[in-house]
Amino acid sequence: MTITEPGTITICGDDSLRIEAGGTRFFITKEDVKSLIFNGRVVPISKSVCRTGTGGISESCVSIEGHSAIGPGGKAVKFFTTKGHFILPFISLQRVARGEAVSAPLFPLEPDSPEGQR
């Protein structure tokens, strides 16, 4: 399911990135943010899921809901989630990760467009 609404990214207190898209909150861990920015690695986008287990005990789990990668030109970061596909200038990601900016908007990336197929 692809949405056409933009999303946002913000930095959390533990230096992970929070991604809000399609009414859902995702995150990229601090270690994965570093791998993405400094090494250009593809990193998972996760979501916290709470479930009620046996005996009514709640348990918290982490579910991988997509991935993020730097585009081929190195100037943009692409986010592929279960709620849609987004793009963000690489410099904006760096500024949020360093704490220089509070947040940055994610722009919809349509998978049917030539840019979305890369």
Q: What is the pLDDT of residue 10?
A: 94
* Torsion of Cα atoms, 31 then 36 then 42 then 44, to 10°: 40
Is residue 83 within 8 A of residue 67, CB to CB? The reply is no
Structure tokens at 50: 């709470």
Sequence-ordered strand ranges (E) for the chain: 7-11, 17-21, 24-28, 43-52, 58-70, 76-81, 84-89, 103-108
- Quick: pLDDT tens for 21-62: 878 899 999 999 999 999 999 999 998 877 666 666 666 788
Give percent of the chain above pLDDT 70.
81
Mean pLDDT, residues 12-23 taken together: 88
